[in-house]
């Protein structure tokens, strides 16, 4: 269980899968991101591009000491500045999760698994 809240009306439990799916949707909307990648890279060094229903496989959600920790595995578009895309992904994911889930601390680690030429 990732997040548990107790309110006057009852308990709220938000699963890690739900957080991962929300995060995958946010990441896919960022400029320069082609899509989410599988955490495992194939033996020839190629990462698998995940479809919308499998975004959660490209996100690892953990409860860390200081709050929620996320590891994101992405594939970016050829010709964009990698550092800028990664910073935008981090900022957008952090903002959306903090506002949507009412969290105080979110740590976002981004791993670029590949670069793809987009037509």
pLDDT, tens digit (0-9, with 9 covering 90-100), for 95-104: 999 999 888 8
Segments of the chain with pLDDT less than 70: 1, 39-53, 55, 119
**pLDDT of res. 48:** 61
**pLDDT of res. 35:** 84
**pLDDT of res. 50:** 64
Q: How far apart are CA 57 and CA 85, in angstroms?
A: 20
69 Cβ contact partners less than 8 Å away, ≥ 6 residues apart: 61, 62, 63, 106, 107, 109
Residue 77: count other Cβ atoms within 10 Å of its Cβ: 15
Contact 23, 70 (CB under 8 A): yes
User: Considering the chain, what percentage of its residues have pLDDT values greater than 70?
Assistant: 84
CATH number at residue 11: 3.30.70.1350
What pTM does this model have?
A: 0.83
**pLDDT of res. 111:** 93
Q: Which domain holds residue 17?
A: 3-116
Q: How far apart are CA 103 and CA 101, in angstroms?
A: 6
**Structural domains counted in the chain:** 1
């Amino acid at each position: 269980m990732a997040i548990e809240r107790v309110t006057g009306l009852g308990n709220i439990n938000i699963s890690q899968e739900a957080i991962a799916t929300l995060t995958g949707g946010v990441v896919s909307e960022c400029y320069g991101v082609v899509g989410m990648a599988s955490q495992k890279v194939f033996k020839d060094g190629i990462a698998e591009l995940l479809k919308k229903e499998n975004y959660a496989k490209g996100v690892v959600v953990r409860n860390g000491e200081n709050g929620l920790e996320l590891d994101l595995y992405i594939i970016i578009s050829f010709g964009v500045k990698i550092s800028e895309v990664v910073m935008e992904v981090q900022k957008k994911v952090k903002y959306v999760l903090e506002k949507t889930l009412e969290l105080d601390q979110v740590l976002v680690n981004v791993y670029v698994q590949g670069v793809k030429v987009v037509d």
